[in-house]
A = this chain, B = another copy of it.
Amino acid sequence: MVYKLASDLDLGPRLPIGMVGGGRGSFFAPYHRAALRLSGRWQLVAGVFSSERSRSLEAGAALGVAADRNYETVADLARAEAARSNGIRAACVVTPNHLHFDACKILMENGIGVICDKPLVNSLEEARELQRLAAQTGVFFGMTYTYCGYPMVREARQLVAEGAIGRVKFVYVEYLQEWLADKPENLGAKAGGWRTDPQKAGPTGTLGDVGTHAFNLAEFVSGAKVNQLSANLTTIVEGRALDDNDIVQLRFDAGFSGLLWATQAAPGHRNGLRIKVIGSTGSVEWRQEAPEALRIGELGQADRTLHRGQRIMTAAGATQTTLPAGNPEGYHEALAILYSDFADAIQAPGSIPLFPAPGLEEGARGVALCDVAIRSSSTNGSWLPLDNQDSH
């Protein structure tokens, strides 16, 4: 397995990939494509870049996608590519949230792997249907929970797994942003846009948009699954229809608890995702805005700051790093690592990776989180189970 992005003499041939969404005006698709390029594992060869045909054609041309593989609909793409001997091995779904379900479904039905931006879908029913489809078809499904692609997030998970902080006792995760702090009327259609429109964003605002990332990170790093929660979803900016400041208390199947705080209305915070795992003998902390280091505290000891790329990283963690210590990596590399994971999984379906790439289960758990949290919050924070059946 080759994770180091830069060991490019060993990456093997590039896998063909398609894209659904991502025409001009798409905010995140260019970053996905940059990560695809950086990964050195994929070649973008097909797509439906927009529901508007001219936009789709413009994007495809700019991206070097042959005109005959720039399709009018996702169904066209799925069927035609499935029929090609050199057809795409997967398609990225980077449309607005409410269009994810249909795109994923038709891709899966045609046996084409899916790499879906989060959140997966807007309702638990849709999530369950995709899970049934996956069970039937065995098609590959990846979710771009980008933050679990950071090397030092993986190092943190590995350190926790190896007992470096003793037994896990508590998990704190926060995700603080400012971009919805302004009044809805001051945010342009684009800036606030569909993310604050319940019809398009789904039943939650901040919880679905960033709370799911924080939740995924808490499970990824701690290595345990949440099985109960108590939520308090609130709106602190007047005139907003969806939650923008959420507190969720968590209980994990491994017996410890946690606390999640997510807000998108905190001026002075850009992409402030931070996790702290407290163990019986130590604690470990990671911040997305300074992603190259872990802060490790141990009872009575000097605080330690471990830097990505240092030789003292765990054997598993070391496989995830690219540049030498001291030469910063960032978000593009984290996303590229996920795309490398996805390529690995498709090329060697049965193999067990050092770090589990996020997939349909993680996507469904994000949807379930929102579903359960809404019910808990509307009943004064009652503790409700989060069904873990899908983890089997």
Contact = CB atoms under 8 A, between A and B. Distances in A.
A59 B10 CA distance: 9
A30 B59 contact: no
A329 interface: yes
Contact of A326 (B9, B33, B272, B281): B272
Interface string A14-42: 00000000011000001101100110100
Contacts of A62: 8-11
B312 A307 contact: no
Given A7-B30, A9-B59, A38-B332, A270 B307 contact: yes
A327 interface: yes
Interface string A99-121: 00000000000000000000000
Contact of A323 (B166, B327, B331): B331
A140 to B, nearest CB: 24
Contact of A6 (B34, B177, B269, B333): B34
A24 B37 contact: no
A328 interface: yes
A8 B34 contact: yes
What is the total number of copies of this protein in its complex? Answer: 4
A89 to B, nearest CB: 18
Given A34-B5, A236-B169, A263-B170, A268 B249 contact: no
A332 B323 contact: yes
B381 A31 contact: no
Interface in A159-191: 165-166, 169-170, 172, 177-178, 181-182
Instruction: Tell me the interface secondary structure of chain A in the complex.
Output: loop
B278 A265 contact: yes
A125 B261 CA distance: 35
A282 B303 contact: no
A82 interface: no
A199 interface: no
A137 interface: no
A377 B297 CA distance: 29
Nearest to A331: B327
Given A267-B279, A269-B283, A283-B269, A328 B328 contact: yes
Interface residues of A, number: 94
A296 interface: yes
Nearest to A59: B9
A223 interface: no
A330 interface: yes
Interface string A287-328: 011111001111111111111011110000000001111111
Nearest to A35: B38
Given A301-B310, A328-B330, 9 more contacts: A6-B31, A9-B63, A172-B261, A270-B324, A272-B326, A290-B290, A300-B312, A302-B304, A302-B312
Interface of A: 5-11, 23-24, 30-31, 33-34, 37-38, 40, 58-59, 62-63, 165-166, 169-170, 172, 177-178, 181-182, 230, 232, 234, 236-237, 245, 247, 249, 256-257, 259, 261, 263, 265-272, 278-283, 288-292, 295-307, 309-312, 322-333, 380-383
12 contacts: A31-B323, A172-B261, A178-B297, A247-B259, A265-B278, A268-B283, A290-B290, A302-B312, A303-B307, A327-B330, A380-B383, A381-B383
